Structure 1
Amino acid sequence: MSTPVQTAPERGPVRDAATLVGGFVAVLWVLEVVDTIVGHRLDQFGVQPRTDEGLVGIATAPLLHLGFEHLVSNTIPLLVLGFVIALSGIGQALAVTGAIWVIGGFGTWLFAPSGTNHIGASVLVFGFIVYLVLRGFFTRRIGQIAVGVVVLVLYGGALWGVLPGQPGISWQGHLFGAVGGGLAAAMLTPRRTDPTGASR
């Protein structure tokens, strides 16, 4: 006689997206608490242009912030934009985030002024904005186009941050994060197909 085995209910995309993005932001807060306790010694692990040490910062810079005010300014956009992207699938969200992370960091390392140190998750925020705005253009899906329009209305003003301006703000990180978001939209977005299997 067979015994029925109870399987765990499948986790839905909303729960998965919330867990992924919420967990990432929680890590950022924990790291900032640790950084505060150790006297902000972690901040040295940012992107330092054209130095060997600065290459490490490509991996670590988006995890670090210059105090809680800096982190707070990135938290809500990361939660909102990251959640929207993660609704398309965890694998897709990780691929998009990875592309923005690497392109934004490496672009900053190449082109930012020597003797500077660049930290903060705003490189991801700018990449997420551009990715979501352009994604619908490549998929030609009405829902994603509508999401892009809403994101542009809510966050489009922030894109002025890719231009040189306020001292102490890494516009290079913003710029190359945005470039990474655009490239991610062009290269990583699944194309819509017609019934014959041809992509459009």
Structure 2
Amino acid sequence: MASEHRSSTATTIDPVQMIADARRALFTMVGVLAAIWLIQLVNWMDDYDLGKRFGVIPQDVSRLPNVVTAPFLHWNWAHLEANSGPLFVFGFLAAYRGVRKFLGLTLLVALTSELTSWVFDSPNRIGAGASGVVFGYFGYVVLRGIIDRNLIDTLIGVVLGASYAYMVTSALPGVAPGISWSAHLGGLIGGLAGAWIFRNRAPRRAREPQVQAPASASAPAGGETQGRAKSTGTDPNSPNAALLKELDDLGL
């Protein structure tokens, strides 16, 4: 009975907590987009010199550290505008389950996206842009609910996957000329891996006390237990009165 009670309360939806989580995710993404647009303004005023200096040049070892800066740089305003919408939507859904997980996920997908681009793209170009991170958030949100066994997140992932499945085609070689398919593919793989790396481990820990301390292990046997249950159950002030009465009614 006790285990059934715990599992039912664990799945209870708290509207206040949901609103707080949504507000935190909203503020996080507003801050992220504000920072990216500010960087773009500085980049534009400097004739996009930031992109030239801090973008990724494939197969150039000296540019490897730029894998953490390239996703936040864009080559023109149209490039930034195209990424801002999906970045906000997918980023909000990714940040909804925790800002710390979101920051770790962002670093992961930035690395997998730009490293894949560094390996597979032509060395005659400089890579920059947040589209790989967008694909990472997308993969994370689609898979997260299944791994965490969360019904709401699973439904969100199914709807998101069905609505934006066409995006995955740009992660295939030769489908979208002029776009780094490898950065998209690397970001997507990083997001799918992130759903496992940053999975919710709380349910497993919550089940441990049920296995470690069974109530029947330390209880005396025979009529002594039944007599103690009855005498304690008659006291309305006892915190265990209701439970002991149920056990008594069952003859336990």
% identical aligned pairs: 32
Tell me which amino acid in the other structure corresponds to 2:73. Answer: L
Give the whole-Å Cα distance in 1 for the aligned partners of 2:119 and 2:184: 14
Give the whole-Å Cα distance in 2 for the aligned partners of 1:143 and 1:197: 25
Give the whole-Å Cα distance in 2 for the aligned partners of 1:110 and 1:156: 25
Superposed, 1:134-153 pairs within 5 Å as: 134-153=143-162
Give the whole-Å Cα distance in 1 for the aligned partners of 2:108 and 2:168: 19
Equivalent residue number for residue 3 of structure 1:
none
Tell me which amino acid in the other structure corresponds to 1:155. Answer: Y
TM-score w.r.t. structure 2 length? 0.70
Equivalent residue number for residue 168 of structure 1:
178
**Matched residues, number:** 189
Give the whole-Å Cα distance in 2 for the aligned partners of 1:144 and 1:46: 34
Equivalent residue number for residue 101 of structure 1:
110
Residue 28 of structure 2 corresponds to residue 20 of structure 1: yes
Q: Deviations over 1:68-122 (max 9, x none)?
A: 1111111111111111111101111111111111111222212222222111000
Give the whole-Å Cα distance in 2 for the aligned partners of 1:94 and 1:122: 17
Q: Is the 8 A contact 1:124 1:177 kept in 2?
A: yes
Give the whole-Å Cα distance in 1 for the aligned partners of 2:32 and 2:203: 33
Any gaps of 5 or more consecutive residues in structure 2? 1-16, 210-252
Q: Deviations over 1:35-63 (max 9, x none)?
A: 11111111212111121332132011111
Q: Is the 8 A contact 1:130 1:181 kept in 2?
A: yes
Equivalent residue number for residue 115 of structure 1:
124
Superposed, 1:73-84 pairs within 5 Å as: 73-84=82-93
Residue 193 of structure 2 corresponds to residue 183 of structure 1: yes
Equivalent residue number for residue 215 of structure 2:
none
> Bigger radius of gyration, 1 or 2?
2
Which structure has more relative contact order (CA 8 Å, sep 6+)? It is 1
Q: CA deviation at 1:191?
A: 4.1
Q: Is the 8 A contact 1:25 1:79 kept in 2?
A: yes
Q: Deviations over 1:162-191 (max 9, x none)?
A: 012222211111010001001111222114
Tell me which amino acid in the other structure corresponds to 2:24. Answer: D
Tell me which amino acid in the other structure corresponds to 1:89. Answer: G
Q: Is the 8 A contact 2:68 2:107 kept in 1?
A: no
Give the whole-Å Cα distance in 2 for the aligned partners of 1:64 and 1:193: 39
Give the whole-Å Cα distance in 2 for the aligned partners of 1:196 and 1:57: 43
The secondary structure found in structure 1 opposite 2:167 is: helix
Any gaps of 5 or more consecutive residues in structure 1? 1-9
Equivalent residue number for residue 197 of structure 1:
208
Residue 149 of structure 2 corresponds to residue 157 of structure 1: no
Equivalent residue number for residue 67 of structure 1:
76
The secondary structure found in structure 2 opposite 1:196 is: helix
TM-score w.r.t. structure 1 length? 0.87
Equivalent residue number for residue 33 of structure 1:
41
Q: Deviations over 1:139-179 (max 9, x none)?
A: 11111110101111222211111012222211111010001
Q: 1:192 to 1:139 in 2, by over 3 A?
A: farther
